[in-house]
Chain A
Amino acid sequence: MRWLIKLTAALLVSLLLLEIMVRCLVLSPAREQYVEKIGYGHAPLSEVLRTYEGYARLRVDDLGLNNPPLPDPLPEHRLLVMGDSFVEALQVMQEENFESRLQQAWSDRGGALVYNAGFDGSDPSFDPDIVDWLMPYVQPQGLLVCVNAHDLTEISRWPVKRQDDGSMTGFVHDVQPPGMLKRTVLWVYAHSALVTHLKWKYEHEVRNWWHALSAGSVAVDPQPVKTVDDFHAGEEGWRWVLQQLSAKGMPVTVLLMPEIRYSATGAEAVDSERRQRLQAVAEALGIPVLDGNQPLLAEFAHSGQPGVGFANTHFGEGHINARGHAALASWLADKRQVLLR
């Protein structure tokens, strides 16, 4: 009996040590807040540590977004940058992401606030609501909608709302305020980096395997490849999102985010057909489209270093690294006339 007590004590101490280790070396606990219509984001002013792809420790602002505190008063020119984890850029230090670097680059060209509204896991169907939410705080004068291949199809997963004549009026997002169970789970995540890490790392895999086993098949692609047909289904949604954003009364620009795999012999752009179709939709609405592949390919040709991926991830895969953010920012710096037209 005594050895069992000793063992339990040793295991508890081990868990405590592991918790400290994860907090120091892997990631911070997930402190989340619920924002109506938008979903779950970081709690205001919480500290975020990420080492999955490199090393970054940063503090989000009082809206829970990856920015330094908003200046008071706001600068004369203001650009809102929207997108998912590529834009949120938790994998690099705050001052290294392309939004900060772009703001820095513009400081001697009339200055401008470049506000990072990136949300991990979000897709453009939320963008109109995000603009409404941030309007009182940021008062943007230009919108940069960053799109990666994931976003191109993800938009089609939400059911659309329609009027009697069949025209689309919006999306039905199933983001609910936290109930009792969700609140408890959020509390656990907020207090344990170890649980947060294990959940993020294995939730997807376990769910896929559970699905595969219950479906009677073991062969499962953890991230099923979406087809061009998915984009066709979401094309109407895309048009609606861009129309909504244009109706906010400020210039909208689409940036096709670099999502490329490098090889020693060159580079291969993925999802080119979907990109072309989105470009056609945007240009039909008079919205300019910028191709983010260009600066990263040029950087790769110049330095031989990938602008995507980190030393601890597979070569050329993953989010944009610090080098890529710098290349992207210096390329965007020359597009001020387009972005804040």
Chain B
Amino acid sequence: MIFSSFEFFIFFTVLLAVLKLAPARFYPHVLLGASWFFYAVWDVRFLLLIGFVSGVGYVCGLRIWQYRHAREKSLRALWLGIAAMLAVLAYFKYTNFLIETLAWLVQAPAERWYQQIVLPVGLSFFTFQVISYLIDVYREEIEPCRSARDFFLYVAFFPQLVAGPIVRAKDFLPQLQQHIGLNGGYMYLGAQVFALGFVQKIFVADRLSAFVDPVFATPQMYDASTLWLALLAYAVQIFCDFSGYSHMAIGIALMLGFRLPENFRMPYLATSIADFWRRWHISLSSWLRDYLYIPLGGNRGSLPHTYVNLMLTMLLGGLWHGASWNFVLWGGLHGVALAVHRAWRSAGMSMPWWLGWPLCFLFVLLTWVPFRSGSFAQTLEYYSGLVGAAGVTWIAPQVVILLLLVLLVHVVMAGRQQWISEWHPGWPTEEGARIAHVLVWFWLVMLLLIWAPVNSSPFIYFQF
């Protein structure tokens, strides 16, 4: 049940109606029930898993707090919780990857050892949420959640359950303690944010995928210009797909009265690789910083030690995205770039934005190749094709127009406030603003009705 489907629309409408009618004290109960239902629609067996993960997280959190004055016991409870999360993650996500790698090392066929394991949707996201909760309790940054209902809702909250943003307990749980409920202002704001995500997903990402998928499937068949266009299209597709999902998740949560953290801040405008990671998938990059990079020592040791920490963090960050050496390569490349950036800064050098931006963008663009390709061989094929392979030219005009449109929107969004006030001082008047609001919604709905494909494809980040 993806957010852009008609089934979800029905589900959400019914949920809003129930929340409106139910007494306020049952609000969290209804949300928890709806979240479990939402998850069960993917596969009812996954409920057991999310119940196990939530149960372990809940009990371990209480134990860590209980033994907070006996650090050894407290640490043991923390490691028990983290080990349980990592074991679940490792089993479901990395078993076959491990088998494949071992088989390759001993040059044996891997097929005979393959396990039939279905990867539960959103596993990487909710296990990371529980780990961050346990560490925060251990660090005494938050108190443990004493209400099982609230904790289970924190783990299963359906807007961000399957593809983030990764929400910290210290951001989410206090909202449950406040008076929550349906609120007209939040509802309107949430609907706007949701609509923005919907446009990103349906209007841009889904349309680009029809061009990107065949080119990445057989890159050896296309010439360099087609491969560059497909790479550019993929960069925009993955941004609009994931950012679109995040906006829809944030919008839905807002409509339900919850604030979720921002996940993207115009990443392709970054002027350095460090800047890029402050703008791209912010909830994951900040998670990796706070719960991996800093505990490893961060930049508190020597410069080489910092580089090692950066590399380790990014390699694991890459592996988090999927059980494939391609993701490790992608993470490693970003780790190297971050280390180079750190060295550059340590040497006291700087770079003007007009040089930093194209360099950073080109690097990010090129590293999408291993991220999107199915294997090393395909990655190498794609890279070699980018530098002048002969083949079929397929410059789809619709793709070019769409990319130009996205570029235009990016530029306009980057400086929207200043432009309006400079262009028309005194605008908008109250009357003008009211009309503009209705017109914006009218155009948004009409453009979606006219151009949105009837069937939508799943979000890319669901697989992670």
Contact = CB atoms under 8 A, between A and B. Distances in A.
A binds B: yes
B221 A205 contact: no
A311 B450 contact: no
Interface residues of B, number: 30
A246 B207 CA distance: 46
B431 interface: yes
A26 B394 CA distance: 22
Contact of A305 (B6, B210, B392, B442): B392
B398 interface: yes
B39 interface: no
Contact of A311 (B221, B396, B454): B396
Interface in A11-47: 11, 14, 18, 21-22, 26
B300 interface: no
Interface string B410-448: 000000000000000000000100110011001100100
Interface stretch (B117-125, B212-220, B248-256, B362-370): B212-220
Contacts of A305: 392, 394
Nearest to A194: B450
Given A10-B439, A14-B439, A198 B450 contact: yes
A11 B439 contact: yes
B399 interface: yes
Nearest to A209: B6
B449 A198 contact: yes
A311 B431 contact: no
B48 interface: no
A3 interface: yes
Interface stretch (A101-109, A237-245, A283-291, A312-320): A312-320
Interface in B1-57: 6-7, 10
Contacts of B396: 311-312
B393 to A, nearest CB: 10
A254 B331 CA distance: 56
B398 A311 contact: yes
Contact of A201 (B442, B446, B454): B454
A303 B6 CA distance: 38
A305 B442 CA distance: 39
Nearest to A208: B6
A175 B81 CA distance: 69
Contacts of B210: 311-315
Chain A interface mostly: helix
Chain B interface mostly: helix
B214 A10 contact: no
B217 A6 contact: no
A3 B435 contact: yes
A interface residue count range (under 10 / 10 to 19 / 20 to 34 / 35 or more) = 20 to 34
Interface in B364-410: 391-392, 394, 396-399
A209 B454 CA distance: 13
A178 interface: no
A205 to B, nearest CB: 6
A14 B217 contact: no
Interface in B184-229: 207, 210-211, 213-214, 217-218, 221-222
Contacts of B221: 303-304
Contacts of B399: 311
B295 to A, nearest CB: 43
Contacts of A304: 218, 221-222, 391-392
Contacts of B392: 303-305
A264 interface: yes
A247 interface: no
Given A205-B454, A312-B398, A218 B446 contact: no
A218 B207 CA distance: 26
B190 to A, nearest CB: 24
A135 interface: no
A22 B217 CA distance: 33
A197 B217 CA distance: 33
Contacts of A7: 434-435, 438-439
Contacts of B394: 305, 311
A14 B442 contact: yes
B450 A264 contact: no
A62 to B, nearest CB: 32
Contacts of B391: 304
Nearest to A213: B10
Nearest to B218: A264
B443 A3 contact: no
Q: Which of B394, B443, B449 has the most CB of A within 10 A?
A: B449
What 5 A-B pairs have minimum CB-CB distances, sorted nearest first? A304-B221, A311-B396, A264-B217, A315-B214, A3-B431
18 contacts: A2-B431, A3-B431, A6-B431, A10-B435, A11-B438, A14-B443, A194-B450, A201-B449, A201-B454, A205-B454, A222-B454, A264-B214, A306-B214, A311-B210, A311-B396, A311-B397, A312-B207, A315-B213
Given A197-B450, A304-B392, 15 more contacts: A7-B439, A11-B442, A14-B442, A14-B446, A22-B450, A201-B449, A202-B454, A205-B6, A303-B392, A305-B394, A311-B398, A311-B399, A312-B207, A314-B210, A315-B214
